[in-house]
Structure 1
Amino acid sequence: MNVTSSILKDVDLFRVLRRVNDRFLSVAIDASLVAEEKYMYLLGSPKLRTLAKALTPAFLRFGGTKQDFMIFTPQHDFSKSWNFPKKSALPQEDLCERLQLPSLLEKRLKEEWAQQEVLLQKEELDGIYKKVKFSEYAVDLLYSFANCSGFDLIFGLNALLRTGNSWDSKNAQMLLSYCESKAYNMSWELGNEPNSYEKKAGIRVDGYQLGLDFVHLRKILQESKLYHMTGLYGPDVGQPRDHRRDLLERFLESGAKTIDACTWHHYYVNGRDTSLEDFLDPEVLDTLAIKTNEVLQTIELVSPGKKVWLGETSSAYGGGALGLSDRFVAGFMWLDKLGLAAKLGLDVIIRQVLIGSGTYHLVDANLDPLPDYWLSVLYKRLVGPEVLNAAAFTSQGVEKRRLRVYLHCTNKRSSDFTRGAVTLFALNLSKSPARISLPTQISNSSVQAFVLESGDPGEEGLYSSSVRLNGEVLKMVDDRTLPPLQGVPLPPGERLNLPGFSFAFYVLKDARAPACR
């Protein structure tokens, strides 16, 4: 079999190209989980909390299509301000233990949730958008999950509650008052993909008016003792197409000063008509740069210096691509997005979805981790927020497009590696193995290799729902324990071998990069 040889070039260990947020890789819980409130109790699963903790530090976004159809409907009479049950005096650890889901109830809920997912996906396909009522219990379960797992919660408010052309804030104010009474530290969004309101609800909201709605929300937050300095993010527009860029420009004209970061959504392909080849196509992966640069240009023009986030993102829109978005092959889109987005200067990426309807989740209906989950955990452990420059070229000096490489300082939170270590992560989109030669300044470093391959052999393995790390299939030891996720040491001076259709993290322990000390 042919082996593709590449040389790592343009490596700069002295300068940080970009620095992203410490919570760069963040996750979402889709608001579809609250379509029936009982499913929110899944957030009390000890197994799900174990999996969630390994993804921190991170933001946890609660939002999506259903958020603009959600009405806060408390079960107690909250008509008198501050007439709420007070926050429990139990210590946080005891509270987290107390709110855990009993195993028999978890088993039944998981079985019912698998059926509910099918129903929700059919509604999505048919374009059915029902109103959803949620109570204070759903908020308690969500906040407990975020807090006990170590996430920073961002709650998406309904922007389609409108009086005339303006946002009607009464329902949101009731929710905010409840959350404040419980001392729930959280951030906020208003609306999800306003560019599609006309399709979903027959309402067209102008970008300028949307900005005024955010001004109104910020004023409400500023009047709160707890939320006067809280984060507000938006407008969560879809990627640039037709009038969407105009909507973003108009929003920024009136609302830019109200938001802490400007959010937009990105998916590569339509989940209903995509293919395996799309997931491995360098040209498809490169479209992220085109769309990102369009958004960055728009924001820089109207609101220079504003942080930009991918507020919702995954491989394929429309709930994901069946048999692809939750399989091993999805990792190529996900890891490349993490590398390219950081290099382009996006500050945070929120992955759709940790749990929720669709086929792009990180854990399945049984709450078992899928390949992209393991990839995300390794990224969290090994990759730091400092982006360095690097590129892969063939010996003829031609950039290798099917071998994609990214270089960061190694995560300083990891006690296994010294300061000055760097992490190279690489994707091989070809079935032929690849060999990477390191440049002189780091060629003598000892290396820890974390090579991820499909759980099943051959090209059919791209459809696998399991993944091997250095040859061992990854699975939980038990519901409260992850496997150790250890690297394999490589001797200094050895070239890096990347099998066909695989990706890997290489920690160069003795790189002594000045930028990373």
Structure 2
Amino acid sequence: MLSNKRLVTICFTVLCCNIALLSVFVKLNIGERCFITIDQHQEALAVIPDDFLSIGIDTSEIENYEKIDFSKPLFRELASALAPARLRLGGTMSERLIFSSENIPSVSCTHCPANASKSTCSAVKKLCRHKFLPFFLMTGDKWAEINEFCKETGLKLLFSFNLLLRDREHEWDSHNAAELLEYSRHKGYDIDWQLGNEPNSFRHVFNISISPKTLAQDFHKLRNLLNHYGYRKSLLVGPDTTRPQPKCPYCLEFMIEFLGNGSNSISVRSWHQYYLNSRTAKLEDFWNPDTFDLLEEQIQTMKSYTAKYNHIPMWLTETSSSYGGGAPGLSNSFAGSPLWLDKLGLSAKYNITTVIRQSFFGGNYSLVDDRLDPSPDWWISVLYKKLVGNKVLKVDCKCSRFQRMYAHCANSKYTNDTTAITLFAINLELAKARFLLNGTAFHGNDLDIDEYIISAPSNNRRSKIVRLNGWQLHYDSSVLEPHHIKYGNHISMPPYSIGFWVIKNTSIKICQ
């Protein structure tokens, strides 16, 4: 038999364990209470287009013609689920791409076949001056395949011309671009255009510098070329500089000087944004509120310094969680999903009218992997397209830095209720979050809510598998059905989760 002393010790130990388990239960299930206020009478903060959430494929992915099969039915289905959207084909290797309308069997720096066009051979000769990066040919057949893919999936192509094709006087050589435009006009392709990729970084990447003033002249030349070849209505998007940051004031200065010389030639002000370095990023960096705050600071900086050109729309033409191809096991898992959804919320709030996700396919930040399995961010993107409407609303969220929430009018294709709004939020804590719905937009305790909660199994933030309302998502079998909430005045989120709520029968006027 146990001695009284030992029995007391065991009972005390059991009691402590129960208290510890109870505290964990309370932390996970009671959670912090937040107050959400949305007023009935308000104007939309911004109105975003249907193709706001868009996608990119890096030019390097088409260097090897066998890497992407644009005709594959599943590949097309996964892309179609994100339509309408833009498909940007650009990146560092766009400065190594040469167009050839003909299929040329072999071409090198010392040999250009007789059946190659003059513009193709001239372009090869120019790029061979820069021997540390290889050039590659995009043939007419491949170009046709890409454009057919866009047509069939409801995507609008945004293509970046090669800026490094330059003559010895450092002026952009437009002959190869003219060949591509003539071919595209003949085929009737509907395309928007860019020139160059991150030109403020050329010294670092290519050991060559192009000044903002020279780049503006190149854009003016391209605008005239587009008008000549029947693309007068096409957008010209640029200059695609990198994000503004304290250690690189030149990034911002380049944009300002370019706009001062070339704003009359462009249709859109564009820049790229990443939060982290893929080589050094850690899991906690992806879930740190300080990381999330970087984007808002960068948007405000770019907006304020280019306010003179606010009549020109602003886009993020290349963006993801971490640069350098994405962080393995993080950028392509649920770990990266809160940053992605928060970026959509912030960008819409500040009237960034297009956000192009790098990338749809290719790299560790892709929405679709090499086996054509969708990532958690693909599911998040599909839900966003399904539920979130064009008008951005003001929402006051009194909560901690670990909960972030945004509000829009609901997507009119989801519900015919013209008073419906969509809330979406992230919970970065290992604790439940509860939101009390306040404000004149809501009718007391009589709310009709469709709820979609995305989470990872066992709160494993590195998981590439996600659950919707507790059920694991599979592309070939899952239906995105909500959990229906009737009669209540609050919503809640489990630990480490993402939520969408469509709230019907509100008093919001602007959504009507």
Question: For the superposition of Structure 1 and Structure 2, which TM-score range results when normalised by the shorter chain?
Answer: 0.7 to 0.9
Letter in 2 for 1:426: A
In terms of mean alpha carbon deviation, does 11-20 or 25-34 score higher?
11-20
DSSP-derived class of the 1:72 partner: strand
DSSP-derived class of the 1:409 partner: strand
Matches within 5 A, 1:99-248: 129-163=133-167, 164-225=169-230, 227-240=231-244, 241-248=248-255
Alignment equivalent of 1:508, drawn from 496, 503, 506: 503
Matches within 5 A, 1:277-426: 277-301=284-308, 303-356=309-362, 358-393=363-398, 399-414=399-414, 416-426=415-425
Question: 2:278 — aligned with what?
Answer: 271
1-side partners of 2:307 and 2:42: how far apart? 27
Letter in 1 for 2:403: L
Aligned 8 A contact 2:40 2:507 in 1: no
Question: 2:493 — aligned with what?
Answer: 498
Aligned 8 A contact 2:101 2:183 in 1: no
Over the matched positions of the two proteins, sequence identity in percent amounts to 36
Aligned 8 A contact 1:324 1:463 in 2: yes
Aligned 8 A contact 1:419 1:512 in 2: no
Question: 2:449 — aligned with what?
Answer: 447
Aligned 8 A contact 1:448 1:487 in 2: yes
DSSP-derived class of the 1:514 partner: coil
Question: 1:35 — aligned with what?
Answer: 63
1-side partners of 2:156 and 2:144: how far apart? 15
Letter in 1 for 2:238: G
For residues 391-436 of structure 1, what are the alpha-carbon distances to aligned partners after superposition, in whole Å with 9 as ceiling and x for unaligned?
Answer: 221xxxxx4211100000001122x341110000011000000000
Letter in 1 for 2:357: R
For residues 132-168 of structure 1, what are the alpha-carbon distances to aligned partners after superposition, in whole Å with 9 as ceiling and x for unaligned?
Answer: 2111111011101111000011111111111132111
Matches within 5 A, 1:73-84: 73-75=100-102
What is the TM-score with the length of structure 2 in the denominator?
A: 0.86
CA deviation after TM superposition for structure 1 residue 12, in Å = 5.1
2-side partners of 1:128 and 1:144: how far apart? 33
Runs of 4 or more above 6 Å deviation: none
DSSP-derived class of the 1:309 partner: strand
Aligned 8 A contact 1:11 1:388 in 2: no
Question: 2:22 — aligned with what?
Answer: none
Question: 1:457 — aligned with what?
Answer: 458
2-side partners of 1:209 and 1:265: how far apart? 21
1-side partners of 2:300 and 2:238: how far apart? 18
Aligned 8 A contact 2:452 2:468 in 1: yes
2-side partners of 1:417 and 1:457: how far apart? 36
2-side partners of 1:246 and 1:494: how far apart? 49
Larger Rg: 2
CA deviation after TM superposition for structure 1 residue 54, in Å = 1.0
DSSP-derived class of the 1:423 partner: strand
Aligned 8 A contact 2:427 2:493 in 1: yes
CA deviation after TM superposition for structure 1 residue 341, in Å = 1.1
CA deviation after TM superposition for structure 1 residue 376, in Å = 0.1
Aligned 8 A contact 1:299 1:306 in 2: no
Letter in 2 for 1:457: S
In terms of mean alpha carbon deviation, does 402-411 or 194-203 score higher?
194-203
2-side partners of 1:45 and 1:31: how far apart? 19
2-side partners of 1:492 and 1:205: how far apart? 62
Letter in 2 for 1:453: S
CA deviation after TM superposition for structure 1 residue 5, in Å = 0.6
CA deviation after TM superposition for structure 1 residue 483, in Å = 2.9
Unaligned stretches of 5+ in structure 1?
A: 82-126, 394-398
Aligned 8 A contact 1:49 1:145 in 2: yes
Alignment equivalent of 1:65, drawn from 72, 77, 92: 92
Relative distance call for 1:440 and 1:245 in structure 2 (3 A) is: closer
2-side partners of 1:277 and 1:295: how far apart? 27
Aligned 8 A contact 2:275 2:322 in 1: yes
1-side partners of 2:471 and 2:228: how far apart? 54
CA deviation after TM superposition for structure 1 residue 128, in Å = 6.3
What is the TM-score with the length of structure 1 in the denominator?
A: 0.85
CA deviation after TM superposition for structure 1 residue 13, in Å = 5.0
In terms of mean alpha carbon deviation, does 291-300 or 322-331 score higher?
291-300
Question: 2:51 — aligned with what?
Answer: 23
Aligned 8 A contact 1:417 1:509 in 2: no
Relative distance call for 1:323 and 1:13 in structure 2 (3 A) is: farther
Q: CA RMSD in A?
A: 1.7
Alignment equivalent of 2:80, drawn from 50, 53, 57: 53
2-side partners of 1:11 and 1:448: how far apart? 20
Letter in 1 for 2:232: H
For residues 424-450 of structure 1, what are the alpha-carbon distances to aligned partners after superposition, in whole Å with 9 as ceiling and x for unaligned?
Answer: 001100000000010153243200000
How many residues end up aligned between the 2 structures? 455
Relative distance call for 1:47 and 1:497 in structure 2 (3 A) is: same
Question: 1:438 — aligned with what?
Answer: 437
Unaligned stretches of 5+ in structure 2?
A: 1-25, 104-114, 120-130
CA deviation after TM superposition for structure 1 residue 34, in Å = 1.3
Relative distance call for 1:78 and 1:150 in structure 2 (3 A) is: farther
1:253 equivalent to 2:260? Answer yes
Letter in 2 for 1:486: E
Letter in 2 for 1:166: E
2-side partners of 1:80 and 1:246: how far apart? 38
For residues 216-248 of structure 1, what are the alpha-carbon distances to aligned partners after superposition, in whole Å with 9 as ceiling and x for unaligned?
Answer: 0000111123x1111110111001123111111
Question: 1:99 — aligned with what?
Answer: none
